[in-house]
């Protein structure tokens, strides 16, 4: 369980950093992107848990983002829409609510689709703002 404890501590540190940025730049939009080590699409496997991460980790990150006036904009179930073949994404994009209101499009791609050799074991994710 030490690995997940470290994850929770990292989310706490992220929260401190985001709140400091929001205090220093209150009128600026922010985009946070990367491997957040958790699926957030709500898909639950037959054995009763989401694909990756823990409930506590998802709750901590949701609170962290909320306190910084941010939301995760990549929580869609891209597998059920056919955009991903076999696994949820753990790489996410999070925006301040002011920028999220300008969101035009969020999409994903699978590494295998880019060529014979995958460039990563993670799905790619991108967005367009208007």
- The CATH number covering residue 34 comes to 3.60.10.10
Rounded mean pLDDT of 22-36? 95
> b/e map of 87-99 (b: 16 or more CB within 10 Å)?
bbbbbbbbbbeeb
Global pTM value: 0.87
Domain count, the chain: 1
pLDDT digits (tens, 9 = 90+) for 90-106: 889 999 999 999 999 99
Domain containing 10 equals 1-129
CA distances (Å), origin 94, targets 3, 13, 53, 98:
23, 16, 17, 12
Pick left, alpha or beta for residue 42 (phi over 0 → left; psi -120 to 50 → alpha; otherwise beta). Answer: left
CA terminus-to-terminus distance, the chain? 42
Note the pLDDT of residue 87.
Answer: 73
Which residues neighbour 105 within 8 Å (Cβ) at sequence distance 6 or greater? 127, 128
């Amino acid at each position: 369980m030490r690995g997940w404890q470290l994850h929770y501590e990292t989310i706490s540190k992220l929260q401190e950093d985001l709140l400091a940025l929001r205090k220093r730049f209150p009128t600026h939009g922010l985009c946070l992107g990367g491997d957040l080590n958790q699926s957030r699409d709500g898909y639950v496997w037959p054995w009763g848990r989401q694909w990756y991460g823990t409930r506590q980790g998802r709750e901590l990150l949701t609170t962290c983002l909320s306190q910084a006036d941010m939301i995760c904009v990549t929580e869609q179930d891209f597998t059920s829409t056919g955009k991903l073949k076999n696994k949820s994404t753990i790489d996410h994009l999070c925006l301040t609510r002011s920028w999220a209101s300008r969101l035009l499009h969020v999409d994903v791609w699978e590494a295998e689709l880019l060529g014979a050799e995958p460039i990563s074991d993670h799905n790619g994710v991108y967005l367009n703002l208007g």
